[in-house]
A = this chain, B = another copy of it.
Amino acid sequence: MAHDDATHTLSTLSARRLKWHTQDDAIVLMRTDCPVCRSEGLTSRSRVMLTYNGREVVATLHQVEDDWLAPTEAGLSEAAWERLDAEPGAALGIHHAPTLPSLSDVRRRMTGKRLEAVSFERIISDIAAGLYSDVHTAAFVSACSTLPLDLDEITSLTRAMVDVGERLSWNSEMIVDKHCVGGLPGNRTTPIVVAILASLGLTVPKTSSRAITSPAGTADTMETLTSVDLSLSDMKRVVESEGGCLAWGGAVQLSPADDILIRIERALDIDAEGQLIASVLSKKIAAGATHVVLDLPFGPTAKLRSVVAARTLAQHLTMVAEAFGLKTHCIFSDGLQPVGRGVGPALEAWDILRVLQGSKNAPADLRKRAISLAGAALELSGTTEPSKGETVAGKALDNGSAWEKFQRICSAQGGLREPPRADHTASISAHRSGVLRAIDNRRLSRLAKLAGAPERPAAGLIIHKRLGESVMRGEPIVTVHAEAAGELEYALEYAQSNFGMFGIEG
C-alpha cells in the first residue's frame, strides 16, 4: 500500500478509548461528517486499516452522527485498542483496508472446490492477523464444514495453523500430551492425568482451550483453581520445575487463528471434524508434543454418535498426526452419560479435587477414566511395559504423589485457590418414579450453558443420578447452579419444556 505523505497527514484522527467490549472484533467509530470519512469515501461497515507506530489493524467502521463523538476522534473497541497498542489522543492513520487475495480462496471453496496448502496458508495468516470480518470467517468455517475437508486439506490447515503461532521447544526428547474430543459433560480428566504423569517424571506441558460448544473446557475449569493465562516464559518455568503445567493455549498464542475460529464455531454451535482435527493437532504440534493419547467418548447423545463415527475420527486423526511425526493412541470410551457429578467450570473442579485427594465421595467414573488415559500415555511413551500402565497410574493417585504434584503445579502457576460457589441454585425433580435409562448429554449441556456456563465459572449442574439407578417421583435428579437470578430462571424455563432429557422407565 503506497500512500504519499500528504494523504497520510490528511487521513488521521485522534484515538479515543471507548472501553467498548466486542470480544475480538476490532471496530472503529467515526463521525459520518469527519474529514477522513469524507476524503476517503468511507461508509458504515467499510473495512478500514488503522495504523499507529508501525502497527496495522484492520477494523470495521461504524459511523455516528451525534456529538458524543467529536469529528476529530476515532473511537476504538477494546480489540482494536489492544492490537494497536494506542495511547489516548494518538494520531491514527486511517485508510481503506487492502483487498485480501485470500478471500478469493474462500470464495473458491464456497463454490465447492478443494483448496491446496498455499490457500490455507493465506487464509489462516489473514485470520490470525485479524484481517477477516466475522462474515468472512463464518463463511470460511461453513464452507469447510458443508463440504467436509479431506485429509490433504486437514493436513494443510493444521500446518497453516501451526505456522502462524508460537512453537515450543523443550529440553526433553519425549513430550507427552492428551486430548479429549469432548461432547461429554463433566469429562474433565486432563488435570488428573497431567498430575499423574508429571508425578512419574514425564514432561507434560499441557495447554488447553476454553469450551467451544460445551459448558466447560479444561482451561475454564483450571481457571477456577489457579491462573491459566501463563506467558510462554511462565509456562517454561513451570514445566522446567514441575514437569507439567495446565495452561490456557490462547494465552501462549500457540494457535492464534484457532481462537478466532473457535469463537465463530461457538456462535454457530458447530464443531466440524476437519476443523476439530486441525485445532487439536495444531496445538499439540505447536506445543512440541511427540506422544499424544486421545480420548474419544461415543454415545447416541455424545459428540461422536457411534463407535463407527469414533473409529473414523480416530483414523483421520492418526493419519494427519503421522504426517507430522506425532505418535498417537486413541481410546474409545463410554459416552452414554456425564462423567463425575459436576458440569460447569467450578463444579467440575470440585470433582477433580476429590479424585486427587482420594476422598470417599470422589466420583469413581472420573477416577477410572483418568487412570485409563494416564496408563495409555505411560505405555505409548514406553515408560511402562504394555498392560502395566493403569496399575502404575493408579498407584500415583493412591499414594498421594499425583495430588502433591497437582498442588505444586498450581502453586507454580500462581497458587491453588478454592473454586467459586453459585449464589442461586434450584433442583429439578423426577416427574415420575422408575429407573433412569437414558440421559441426553446435548440437552444437559444446553441446560448448563443456559445457567451461565462456561462464562460464569460457578454456573452449571450437579447430577445426582447415574444410569441404571432408581428414582422416586419428586426426587431431585439434577441441581442447577447459577450466578445470576435471570440465568437460573432461563435454565429452569428450558428444563420445564425438556423433561425428556432424562429417560425414566419401568
Contact = CB atoms under 8 A, between A and B. Distances in A.
A111 B487 CA distance: 31
When all copies of this chain in the complex are counted, the total is: 2
A40 interface: yes
Contact of A32 (B17, B21, B134, B135): B21
Interface residues of A, number: 75
Nearest to A493: B2
A47 to B, nearest CB: 9
B41 A482 contact: yes
A65 B40 CA distance: 31
A272 B142 CA distance: 15
Given A7-B486, A146-B111, A486-B39, A268 B139 contact: yes
B107 A270 contact: yes
Given A23-B44, A142-B139, A146-B147, A39 B134 contact: no
A110 B23 contact: no
Given A18-B66, A18-B68, A41-B482, A135 B138 contact: yes
Interface in A453-503: 455-456, 459, 482-487, 489-490, 493-494
Chain A interface main SS type: mixed
Interface in A347-365: none
A112 B148 contact: yes
A21 B62 contact: yes
A407 interface: no
Interface string A68-103: 100000000100000000000000000110010001
B148 A264 contact: no
Taking each of A138, A459, A490, A494, which has the highest tally of chain B beta carbons within 10 Å of its own beta carbon? A138
B19 A64 contact: yes
A112 B112 CA distance: 11
A51 interface: no
Interface in A176-211: none
Contact of A110 (B2, B95, B146, B493): B146
Interface in A11-60: 11, 17-23, 25, 29, 32, 38-41, 43-45
A398 interface: no
Interface string A260-300: 00001001111010000000000000000000000000000
Interface of A: 1-3, 7, 11, 17-23, 25, 29, 32, 38-41, 43-45, 62-66, 68, 77, 95-96, 99, 103, 106-107, 109-112, 133-143, 145-148, 264, 267-270, 272, 446, 452, 455-456, 459, 482-487, 489-490, 493-494
